[in-house]
């Protein structure tokens, strides 16, 4: 299964991708996690991304495409993958489509998790207390939600136009949301 999980910050992409990974036995590829690993390692890429991420803005399409290209060239994606956090704008959606066409591995499903903004803010505030992620402060969260509505929401229309989008209600227990995603995938 080659799957993209779309949704605003805090909608549960990472949480559900972890479960899907175990259920479907395919890797979970989170561009946020890949970038945070670069920041933690103090690499050149991490240094370039650090401040941009802390502000809640998007890291450059060029950096992201390089990261995704390299990750999708690994052998463990032979049976599929779950992309979480990519694509995040229409340029990235086009780049991904071209990249997957090149390796003859087109997407099979795109699941959009739907959660109202007030609940997103509440969930992220909870995580901020528990984990202290640098971009979970109120100012960066506002920015991330704005970036989602300006740049990422148009990606929904991109995939709707290709007939591959399934909308899933992301409100409910972790088990309920997981069951809805599996049903949307026909599993």
**13 makes contact with ligand AP5 (CB under 6 A):** yes
55 tagged catalytic? no
Residues 56 to 75: which contact ligand AP5 by CB under 6 A? 56-59, 64
Dist CA 157 CA 185 (whole Å) = 19
Contact 82, 46 (CB under 8 A): no
**168 makes contact with ligand AP5 (CB under 6 A):** no
**2 makes contact with ligand AP5 (CB under 6 A):** no
**53 makes contact with ligand AP5 (CB under 6 A):** yes
88 tagged catalytic? yes
Shortest CB 12 distance to ligand AP5, Å: 3
Among candidate residues 13, 19, 36, 123, the one labeled active-site is: 13
144 tagged catalytic? yes
Stretch that binds ligand AP5, among 39-47, 104-112, 158-166, 170-178 (CB under 6 A): 170-178
Residues 101 to 140: which contact ligand AP5 by CB under 6 A? 123, 126-127, 135
180 tagged catalytic? no
Of 21, 23, 5, whose CA–CA distance to 13 is shortest? 5
Burial of 98 (0-12, 13-18, 19+ CB in 10 A): exposed
Contact 4, 17 (CB under 8 A): no
Of 87, 95, 138, whose CA–CA distance to 112 is shortest? 87
What is the SS3 assignment for 105? coil
Of 111, 127, 88, whose CA–CA distance to 179 is shortest? 111
133 tagged catalytic? yes
Q: How far is CA 102 from CA 69, 79, 92, 160, in A?
A: 11, 17, 15, 22
Stretch that binds ligand AP5, among 37-45, 104-112, 154-162, 172-180 (CB under 6 A): 172-180
Write out the residues near ligand AP5 by the rule CB under 6 A.
7, 9-15, 31-32, 35, 52-53, 56-59, 64, 85-86, 88, 92, 123, 126-127, 135, 144, 172, 174, 177
Q: So which residues are the catalytic ones? A: 13, 88, 127, 133, 144
């Amino acid at each position: 299964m080659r799957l993209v999980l779309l949704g605003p910050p805090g909608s549960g992409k990472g949480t559900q991708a972890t479960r899907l990974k175990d259920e479907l036995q395919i890797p979970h590829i989170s561009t946020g996690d890949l970038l945070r690993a670069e920041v933690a390692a103090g690499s050149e890429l991490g240094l370039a991304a650090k401040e941009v991420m802390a502000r809640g803005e998007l890291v450059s399409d060029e950096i992201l495409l390089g990261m995704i290209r390299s990750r999708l060239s690994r052998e463990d994606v032979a049976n599929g993958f779950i992309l979480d956090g990519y694509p995040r704008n229409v340029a990235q959606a086009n780049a991904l489509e071209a990249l997957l066409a090149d390796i003859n591995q087109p997407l099979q499903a795109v699941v959009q998790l739907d959660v109202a903004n007030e609940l997103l803010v509440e969930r992220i505030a909870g995580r901020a207390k528990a984990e202290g992620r640098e971009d979970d402060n109120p100012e960066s969260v506002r920015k991330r939600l704005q970036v989602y509505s300006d740049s990422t929401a148009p990606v929904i229309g991109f995939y709707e136009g290709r007939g591959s989008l399934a909308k899933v209600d992301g409100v409910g227990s972790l088990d309920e949301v997981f069951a809805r995603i599996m049903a949307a995938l026909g599993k």
